[in-house]
């Protein structure tokens, strides 16, 4: 990932910044310019809580080359209490334990490395709560 592109995403990747539509209340993560639900373009910035619940999930056994060392790993769509949904890996557990309904905390982790000498790319991953 070229570093300018990584840098632009820092607010959502580092701080879970999202936006709530002033028209209909929809929470968009990452933030958007136009509300996909009502078309409004007036937003209030919010920060997502670092807690959510798995909506659906999978365990990746055949990964892209960049993730070869991590397989098998769980990936899930997680819904936060604000109603935002985000796709994250769920780690520090048996991947098969990650199923719809699993409560997770979001922890800041290294997501990927750009080759041997490139930048390190961070973001959030889920960890089963409790």
Task: Name the site residues for other proteins (rule: CB under 8 A).
Answer: 1, 9-10, 12, 14-15, 29-30, 36, 47, 50, 55-70, 72-73, 75-77, 85-89, 91-93, 95-96, 99-100, 107-112, 115-116, 120-123, 125
For other proteins, give the closer residue by CB, 7 or 41: 7
Least distance CB 42 / other proteins (angstroms)? 19
Judge residue 45's burial from the number of C-beta atoms within 10 Å of its C-beta, 0-12 exposed, 13-18 middle, 19 or more buried. exposed
CA 130 vs CA 102, 111, 117: distances in Å: 11, 23, 37
For other proteins, give the closer residue by CB, 41 or 107: 107
Q: Report residue 87 as tokens.
A: 């796709």
């Amino acid at each position: 990932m070229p570093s300018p592109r990584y840098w632009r995403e820092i607010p959502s990747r580092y701080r879970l910044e999202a936006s709530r539509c002033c028209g209909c209340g929809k929470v968009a993560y990452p933030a958007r310019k136009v509300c996909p639900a009502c078309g409004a373009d007036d937003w209030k910035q919010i920060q997502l809580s670092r807690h959510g619940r798995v909506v659906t999930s999978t365990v990746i056994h055949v990964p892209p080359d960049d993730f070869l060392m991590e397989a098998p790993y769980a990936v899930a769509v997680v819904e936060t209490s604000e109603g935002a949904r985000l796709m994250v890996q769920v780690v520090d557990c048996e991947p098969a334990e990650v199923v719809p309904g699993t409560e997770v905390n979001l922890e800041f982790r290294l997501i990927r490395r750009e080759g041997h000498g490139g930048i390190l790319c961070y973001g959030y991953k889920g960890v089963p709560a409790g």
